[in-house]
A and B are shown apart, each in its own frame.
Chain A
Amino acid sequence: MELLNNLAIGFSTALSMTNLLYCFFGVLLGTLIGVLPGLGAVATIAMLLPATFSLPPVSSLIMLAGIYYGAQYGGSTTAILVNLPGESSSVVTALDGYKMACQGRAGAALTTSAVGSFVAGSLATLLIAMFATPLSAFALAFGPPEYFSLMVLGLVASVVLAHGSLLKAICMIILGLLLGLVGTDVNSGLSRFTFEQPQIAEGISFVAVAMGLFGIGEIVRNLEHEAGGARTAGIPRVGSLMPTRDEIRRIIAPIFRGTALGSILGILPGGGAMLASFASYSLEKKLSPHPETFGNGAIEGVAGPESANNAGAQTSFIPMLTLGIPSNAVMALMAGAMIMQGIQPGPSVMVEQPALFWGMVTSMWIGNIMLVILNLPLIGIWVRLLAVPYHLLFPVIIVICGIGAFSVSNSVFDIHLMAAFGVLGYVFFKLECEPAPLLLGFILGPMMEEYLRRAMLLSRGDFTVFLTRPISATLLALSAAALALVVLPAFRKTREEAFHEED
């Protein structure tokens, strides 16, 4: 009964004309930036933050949230059509989605991704409404040792998932870890690898690294083909949007599994949408009777991760809305937007501002409906956006990337950094090294260090703390098992075969 009451308050807020408009504007912008590679939700929200200062709090939050989950939809469109993940969380979608597109099944892949995202988005919204309070209590059971072990698992999973050479994947992770260590050490306050450059005293900008490696690197790579005259149209035909009956049968279970996995991982700080999509992919591959089809156009490899990343994106609002604790960079910006409006994110928001809390929750569901409409019938428009001649598109993308890199901390240095990482991204491509593990190492490395040292400080240097706490011990055992699997000759062979066929 209380749930119905709450939802009624929410709908009456979210369905007002103004809020519907802001919601639409948010998801439209989100889809757009999701489609355009190199410009992420973090950069866009950061750019728009000052502009929301004069809007009513509910409207600005509805719009910003729309950008975030809208980007998850848009990001998968480019991942599937041109093998260019617009968002880091759609990196996995590109693996099988693009292969499907090459086989003429782009339409089915897009539908799967949109429907999966919609189902996941709706269920996750319902989940937020029902379990916001109890779920936030679960996240509190995670202390520094648990986070550390979770991240170990995340890194091990990314090695298992990496394309091609295992050695190269590990090297890329380590390179990412090293890059992540640049900046001020939280525990001692001393700076590392900064060469007395104040611009990197707080670390290398994540946006510069991500845009450089994925955005600029990709452009350089594409231009090389164009110069050689060998660049084809690049965009496969969308084909029929309807999946075959067999495909529908195959995607149902992965969508629900992905939703469940994504919902859980989204609540945990740090992982969010990206970890959710990686985890779902490996889960689907494990459960599939035909693991060899993965990386070769398996529709389950699109359905699972796409549902997981959208569910993760939605549930990552839970710790922010209920506890005032942002679980990732986007949520930190959202919390910032609330503070700018004079609302302190925290447990009392739900009680003192029910219209704001429930209005935002229900707007997510409305936004998800809008996204399905925007992304399926209108897919042609987004595809046309990609069909713009590359020599017209790439300068625009470079400018947008430049603005994005600059706007995060108003630093020209970050633009130079992005350019440098663009060159690096191209070199990696030539060396057949995947940049995704590097990015994961870059994000998780410093966090792991922070949690490891914090766990050590709190346990007064006692290492057994990782094994005596049940959740931590379980996570470490899972990591060990995953690692053992990779080392086992039998599995290693199938893994190499699976990735070999992909190339």
Chain B
Amino acid sequence: MKLPFFRTSVVLLTAAFSVAAQADVYPSKPITVIVCYSPGGSNDMIARTVSEELSKRLGQPVMVENAAGAAGTIGAAKAIRSPADGYTLLLGSGSEISIAKLTTPSVKYDGQKDLAPITMIGTQPMILVGAPGTAPKNTAELLAYAKANPDKLSFASSGVGTPLHLSGELIKQKAKISMEHVPYKGAGPMLTDLLGNQIPLAITVLSSSLQHVKAGKLKAYGVTEPRRAAVLPDVPALAETKGLEGLDMSIWWGFFAPLKTPDAIVQRLNKELVEVLKTPSVVQKLTESGVVLSVRGPKDFAKFVDGETSKYRQIVQAANIRTE
């Protein structure tokens, strides 16, 4: 009769010890990754692809939480407010980390100062595309046309204050041309109007118009990164055209943690994430959806974010972009 009781106590004691022991080792409970946009978008896809593999490496579930709304700022603010214990991470991108603060006075946080960068994942170029009926054949002709016909051209983007809009403004500023900005709600309606010749130009994320460019249904003027995209080697970089030298804009993604997260945890996560981003299946999935891997550790990533933010600041100030 005594034996079962003894056994139970031993089991309970062992259990108690192992819990105590686990509490010291990170991670001892599930980790949440906040995504600032709805399920189905590229941020969500990246977070889910990486989390699955990260979870295997850390031995704890890594769950994706979509906190969408207010152009991504709700999710970012939520991550900043979360306890800095390494159990809440943020998959951030340029919009909510760098641009929001510059264009929107009501955004209270500062993506540069209130978050600890962990690992940068990569970038995706944007592309300037033309409707089938848009006459100029290449970027040089397009710029000449715009100069000869001021206020004739319009360009579509997926909203005010998006990296796409900022790229358009930068093209205008560098080439000293004028084009009307026509904002859309997302890439879908924008491509409909473009394919139907309703609007002459659009700036899209490369992956949204890739199929149409490959199928020859859209004119591709150039990508916004200084080097050509591997998936479209025949399409020049906009920076190759006279007047647009040095043009360098991209969408980028990376993991962040709340500011005061212990350095040891940040380093550990970075180490694991770097490994995750070498896993063939992850690399394949990300590459297929248009992400160009560009892995950087915490220090490099912070420097990158600083550089991007000051670039955006110039564009926003020169074009006087303001949202609320």
Q: Mark B177-197, 1 if CB is under 8 A from A, else 0.
A: 000101111001101110110
**B151 (CB) vs chain A CBs: closest residue:** A460
Contact A189 B211 (CB under 8 A): no
Contact A325 B189 (CB under 8 A): yes
Specify which chain A residues have a CB less than 8 angstroms from the CB of B189 in the assembled complex.
269, 325
Which of the 9-residue segments A9-17, A75-83, A309-317, A336-344 touches chain B?
Answer: A336-344
Contact B106 A196 (CB under 8 A): yes
A103 within 8 A of B: no
Given contacts A324-B211, A333-B40, A409-B68, contact A198 B151 (CB under 8 A): no
Contact A325 B324 (CB under 8 A): no
A144 within 8 A of B: yes
Q: In the complex, which range does the number of interface residues on chain A fall in? A: 35 or more
Contact A189 B323 (CB under 8 A): yes
Q: Mark B42-81, 1 if CB is under 8 A from A, else 0.
A: 1011001000000000000000111111110110010000
CB distance from B98 to the nearest CB of A (A): 16
In residues 192-225 of chain A, which contact B (Cβ within 8 Å)? Answer: 196, 198-199, 201-202
CA distance A189 to B324 in the complex (A): 6
B41 within 8 A of A: yes
CB distance from B173 to the nearest CB of A (A): 19
Contact A325 B40 (CB under 8 A): no
Q: Mark A321-359, 1 if CB is under 8 A from B, else 0.
A: 001111000001101110110101011100000000000
CB distance from B319 to the nearest CB of A (A): 12
**B211 (CB) vs chain A CBs: closest residue:** A346
Q: Mark A264-286, 1 if CB is under 8 A from B, else 0.
A: 00000100000000000000000
Specify which chain A residues have a CB less than 8 angstroms from the CB of B73 in the assembled complex.
198
Contact B40 A337 (CB under 8 A): yes
Choose among A191, A333, A337, A409 the residue with the greatest number of B CB atoms under 10 Å from its CB: A409
**B165 (CB) vs chain A CBs: closest residue:** A189
CB distance from B125 to the nearest CB of A (A): 15
B212 within 8 A of A: yes
Specify which chain A residues have a CB less than 8 angstroms from the CB of B196 in the assembled complex.
139-143
Contact B198 A347 (CB under 8 A): no
B215 within 8 A of A: yes
**B207 (CB) vs chain A CBs: closest residue:** A344
Which of the 9-residue segments A90-98, A361-369, A450-458, A482-490 touches chain B?
Answer: A450-458
Contact B324 A346 (CB under 8 A): no
B141 within 8 A of A: no
A187 within 8 A of B: yes
Contact B48 A53 (CB under 8 A): yes
Q: What is the number of residues of chain B that contact chain A, defined by CB distance less than 8 Å?
A: 55
Given contacts A336-B41, A454-B182, A458-B199, contact A325 B191 (CB under 8 A): yes
> A336 contacts which of B39, B106, B192, B212 (Cβ < 8 Å)?
B39
Given contacts A196-B106, A410-B67, contact A344 B211 (CB under 8 A): yes
Given contacts A141-B196, A325-B188, A457-B180, contact A340 B45 (CB under 8 A): yes
Specify which chain B residues have a CB less than 8 angstroms from the CB of A411 in the assembled complex.
69
- Tell me whether chain B's interface is mostly helix, strand or loop, or mixed: mixed
Which of the 9-residue segments B10-18, B154-162, B301-309 touches chain A?
Answer: B154-162
Q: Mark A39-73, 1 if CB is under 8 A from B, else 0.
A: 00000001001100100000000000000000000
> A409 contacts which of B38, B42, B199, B215 (Cβ < 8 Å)?
B38
Contact A190 B195 (CB under 8 A): no
**B195 (CB) vs chain A CBs: closest residue:** A140
Contact A458 B44 (CB under 8 A): no
Specify which chain A residues have a CB less than 8 angstroms from the CB of B161 in the assembled complex.
189
B263 within 8 A of A: no
**A197 (CB) vs chain B CBs: closest residue:** B70
Given contacts A140-B195, A347-B215, contact A186 B159 (CB under 8 A): yes
Specify which chain A residues have a CB less than 8 angstroms from the CB of B271 in the assembled complex.
none
CA distance A348 to B217 in the complex (A): 11
CB distance from B37 to the nearest CB of A (A): 10
Specify which chain A residues have a CB less than 8 angstroms from the CB of B322 in the assembled complex.
189
CB distance from B187 to the nearest CB of A (A): 9
A184 within 8 A of B: yes
**A319 (CB) vs chain B CBs: closest residue:** B192
Specify which chain A residues have a CB less than 8 angstroms from the CB of B71 in the assembled complex.
184, 201-202
Contact A139 B192 (CB under 8 A): yes
Q: Mark B70-112, 1 if CB is under 8 A from A, else 0.
A: 1101100100000000000000000000000001001000000
B245 within 8 A of A: no
**B64 (CB) vs chain A CBs: closest residue:** A50
B288 within 8 A of A: yes
B285 within 8 A of A: yes
Q: Mark B203-228, 1 if CB is under 8 A from A, else 0.
A: 00001101110110100000000000
Specify which chain A residues have a CB less than 8 angstroms from the CB of B321 in the assembled complex.
189
Contact B192 A323 (CB under 8 A): yes
Given contacts A49-B40, A50-B39, contact A186 B184 (CB under 8 A): yes
CA distance A451 to B210 in the complex (A): 26
Specify which chain B residues have a CB less than 8 angstroms from the CB of A142 in the assembled complex.
192, 196
Contact A49 B39 (CB under 8 A): yes
Specify which chain B residues have a CB less than 8 angstroms from the CB of A468 in the assembled complex.
none
A232 within 8 A of B: no
In residues 95-154 of chain B, which contact A (Cβ within 8 Å)? Answer: 103, 106, 151, 154
Given contacts A189-B161, A190-B324, A336-B39, contact A348 B199 (CB under 8 A): no
CA distance A342 to B182 in the complex (A): 29
Contact B39 A189 (CB under 8 A): no
Choose among B70, B74, B288 the residue with the greatest number of A CB atoms under 10 Å from its CB: B70
> B192 contacts which of A202, A269, A342 (Cβ < 8 Å)?
A269
Given contacts A346-B211, A458-B154, contact A198 B70 (CB under 8 A): yes
Q: Mark B266-286, 1 if CB is under 8 A from A, else 0.
A: 000000000000000000010
Specify which chain B residues have a CB less than 8 angstroms from the CB of A186 in the assembled complex.
159-160, 183-185
CA distance A326 to B41 in the complex (A): 13
CB distance from B157 to the nearest CB of A (A): 11
Apart from A186-B160, A339-B42, A342-B285, what 8 extra A-B contacts exist at CB < 8 Å? A141-B196, A189-B183, A198-B77, A269-B189, A336-B39, A344-B289, A409-B66, A457-B182
| 16 A–B pairs (Cβ distance < 8 Å), ordered by A | A50-B64, A186-B183, A186-B184, A187-B183, A319-B192, A332-B40, A333-B40, A336-B41, A344-B208, A344-B289, A348-B215, A409-B69, A410-B65, A410-B67, A410-B68, A457-B154
* A residues in contact (CB < 8 Å) with B: 46, 49-50, 53, 139-144, 184, 186-191, 196, 198-199, 201-202, 269, 319, 323-326, 332-333, 335-337, 339-340, 342, 344, 346-348, 409-411, 450, 454, 457-458, 460
What are the 6 A-B residue pairs with the smallest beta carbon separation, nearest first? A336-B40, A189-B323, A189-B160, A346-B211, A140-B196, A143-B198
